[in-house]
Amino acid sequence: EIVLTQSPGTLSLSPGERATLSCRASQSVSSSYLAWYQQKPGQAPRLLIYGASSRATGIPDRFSGSGSGTDFTLTISRLEPEDFAVYYCQQYDSAPRTFGQGTKVEIK
Amino acid sequence: EVQLLESGGGLVQPGGSLRLSCAASGFIFSNYAMSWVRQAPGKGLEWVSVISGSGGSTYYADSVKGRFTISRDNSKNTLYLQMNSLRAEDTAVYYCAKNLVSALAASRDAFDIWGQGTMVTVSS
């Protein structure tokens, strides 16, 4: 099973700042089968990024994904008030599909 | 509008059973594999099970194998999760989720549409 470790656990930033979230895999994720999801309290997760760097439908271009192999990054270029949430990475390269433990982006 | 709506959650005693449903609308249901993903209170996400678009192929997480059964009725655009021998550690919000592009259960695919979730509490 591929274990995904996200860092930091919590990111305290102000609106307008840049957020950089990390996701490290215990073994290589081939062909960048990695996704990022956003979850707000009481809501279902929402797909942001798939294939490590492709934005899902309707996702603003301030969200970008990068990386390959074992190291992946989600960047939010300028935080909007609605971006404060928990973010999860997920690998879908091998079974079972696994998620990271999440990074909370909170208002500083 | 593409939508998934779960139902069937509730309070059940340890060892009991429950069947969850997920009604789909706004897309050709049989064209996509579907999964169940759960989230224990205050915890992260855990994939539970997946079924192919035809229903002929299924996979399970080790934590639920032999106790849970995923199925679908494409004529009713509905996904199911039959949960037996429930344990306290099965307590969670259960989400159904749609594959982004593929009908194959074993495909490498992200989840682009999620339901709002249904809460399952296993407690005496």
- pLDDT tens-digit series, residues B14-50: 999 999 999 999 999 999 999 999 999 999 999 999 9
Interface contact A97-B44, CB threshold 8 A:
no
Block means of pLDDT (10 residues each) for chain A, length 108 residues? 96 97 96 93 97 96 96 97 98 94 97
| pLDDT at res. B107 | 82
| pLDDT at res. B102 | 87
| pLDDT at res. B63 | 97
Contacts of A101 in chain B (CB under 8 A): 44
In which order are the strands placed within the sheet that holds B78-83? B3-7, B18-25, B78-83, B68-73
Interface contact B59-A90, CB threshold 8 A:
no
Token readout for B15 is 């060892």
Of B59, B110, B116, the CB nearest to A95: B59
| pLDDT at res. B104 | 83
Q: Is B1 on the interface with A (CB under 8 A)?
A: no
Residues 6+ apart with CB under 8 A from B53: B29, B30, B31, B32, B33, B74, B103, B104
Residues of chain B with pLDDT under 70: none
Contacts of B1 in chain A (CB under 8 A): none
